[in-house]
Amino acid sequence: MKSDKKSGLTFWLAGGIVAIVCFGLALFCGFRQLMGEPARCGVTTETAQVETGSDSSESKPPGVTDATFQSLVLESKTPVLVDFWAPWCGPCRMMSPVVDTFYNENKGKLNVYKLNCDQNPGTAQKYQIRGIPSLLLFKDGKLVDQIVGSVPKTKLVETFGKYFEEQTSDKLQ
């Protein structure tokens, strides 16, 4: 009889621990967002601005859709950087101010667009986007380079700078 009480207590204790772990995971994984509330992942616009040095006076890159991708990106005479993102993606929200700053610092050298993968799955599938944020650089209608994941602005300049600096030097000659 004592073993029945002991096993019952163990069962309830284990069940309680499982419930606590599940509740914690639900909160961590965006339970609030599923319930219609905004997700709070510890990254706010204010902290992202402080970390990247951007401010709200800077303009943001325009959006591109499946319908406008051909004309805005593939037919562009200047290099084009496309930020594949989704509103629920924490790393995408962290990268947004970095991409905004990069866009503002390089206006005229290249075009920058943001593509919401949830609203435009066709283009994301065409370019086999498996992880976001994904930053793809197109030149003369062809994909020439890409970065997947959240990276500092210095990595954007290092990876993509050579493509639009060539454009500037070509115009000077």
For 11, 49, 142, 159, the CA distances from 7, given in Å and listed in that order, are: 6, 54, 65, 60
Find out whether 102 and 156 touch, Cβ atoms under 8 Å: yes
Residue 22 known to be catalytic: no
Check whether the bond before 133 is cis (ω within 30° of 0): yes
Q: Considering the candidates 22, 29, 41, 92, report the single residue annotated as catalytic.
A: 92
Closest of 172, 173, 164 to residue 77, by C-alpha = 164
Among this protein's residues, is 89 annotated catalytic? yes
Q: How many CB atoms lie within 10 A of CB 88?
A: 13
Residues 6+ apart with CB under 8 A from 114: 60, 61, 62, 63, 64, 82, 83, 85, 99
127 near 136, Cβ under 8 Å? Answer: yes
Which residue's structure tokens are 């772990």?
21
Which sequence positions are flagged as catalytic? 89, 92
